[in-house]
Amino acid sequence: MPKTQTKTNTATFERRDILSFDQFTPNDLFHIFTTAKEMAYQVKKKVPSDLLRGTITTLLFYEPSSRTFASFNAAIKRLGGQTIDIQNPGQTSSVAKGETLADTIRTFEAYSDLIIMRHPIKGAAKEAANAASIPVINAGDGIGEHPTQALLDLYTLYEKFGRLNHLTGVLVGDLLNGRTIHSLLRGLSLFEGNEIYLLAPQILKLSPQDKQDFRKRGLKLIEITNDKEIPKTANFWYWTRVQKERFTNLSDYERVKTAFTVTPELMKSRAGKDMILMHPLPRVGEIAKAVDKDPRAVYLRAQIRNGMFIRMAVVSLILGKKL
């Protein structure tokens, strides 16, 4: 059976690749969220599931990962599926012998029903999907995108505010290289009336091309240069790590790595009572530990949990398994 073409068939996710957030419609998101909510309920009630029994998913991660790798893994296992876990294939597989990405993909597709891949090169997920006859999920392609992270981020926002339109957000940190940012902005631009403040060191600003593109989509983007300009009315802050691995000059990294940090004082002076503080993690100094106990901080709670529920939903929808 051929793969379902992305974009042309939004009624079903069966056998669909997930490469970019661009392929989702608002309806797709709500369909995924409803399924994720059911998954969350099942996990909470400890209902054992064998929904994915008889399926094998390859997790092929060329870049380090804690949450994305483990949450996909846990999601699949909670639904009774099995995984082939390849972390660091540059050292542990034939990639070390010079095998091409296309050949690696053709190998794993012979053993499995789905490939979930993280890769340092932007566009690599698309290349893998072109080579594969089974679906491919992009778990991060360099500075490109990280669509399932944005799904869990939007789900977290939806759980909290009951809507994804008319939200005011502040995105902070590495807006140039952060793939979670690139997918999240695509998601936010699907809904009306969202107003997004951007705060980044000069060298890590969202690219002019991206800015133009997102504005064209109707997203209101406002650049600020100082944390004192963060609007107190913001519904959410989305802080990110400066992506050290994308720098060619490490002294540049050192100069900007903690340009903007969240402290209890900043929360006190700029954060509204009902806002949430988000971060895709890992954090490396840009959110003070003392902020963790603030009930508005959701990065170590809702976001991590939701990651597994969203991935349970996504994998089962792609593999055509209904609850």
| Least distance from ligand NCD to the Cβ atom of residue 322, Å | 28
146 binds ligand NCD per the rule CB under 6 A: yes
Max CA separation in the chain (angstroms): 57
Please confirm, yes or no, whether 67 is among the known catalytic residues.
yes
Q: Which is nearer to ligand NCD, 103 or 245 (CB)?
A: 245
68 binds ligand NCD per the rule CB under 6 A: yes
Stretch that binds ligand NCD, among 30-38, 224-232, 236-244, 270-278 (CB under 6 A): 236-244
Residue 259, token pair as written in the block: 């340009």
Name the residue among 88, 18, 23, 38 with its Cα closest to residue 59. 88
User: CB neighbours (10 Å) of residue 202?
Assistant: 8
User: x/- contact string, 18-57, with ligand NCD (CB under 6 A)?
Assistant: ----------------------------------------
Name the residue among 185, 197, 219, 194 with its Cα closest to residue 270. 197
144 binds ligand NCD per the rule CB under 6 A: no
- For tokens 């009315």, the residue is 233
Among 35, 180, 183, 189, binds ligand NCD (CB under 6 A): 180
Please confirm, yes or no, whether 35 is among the known catalytic residues.
no
Positive or negative, the Cα torsion across 316, 317, 319, 321?
A: positive
* Cα 179 to Cα 10, 159, 173, 198, distances in angstroms: 24, 23, 12, 15
Which of positions 271-300 make contact with ligand NCD (CB under 6 A)?
280-281
Contact positions vs ligand NCD (CB under 6 A): 67-68, 140, 146, 149, 179-180, 240-241, 243, 280-281
Q: Which residues are catalytic?
A: 67-68, 97, 118, 146
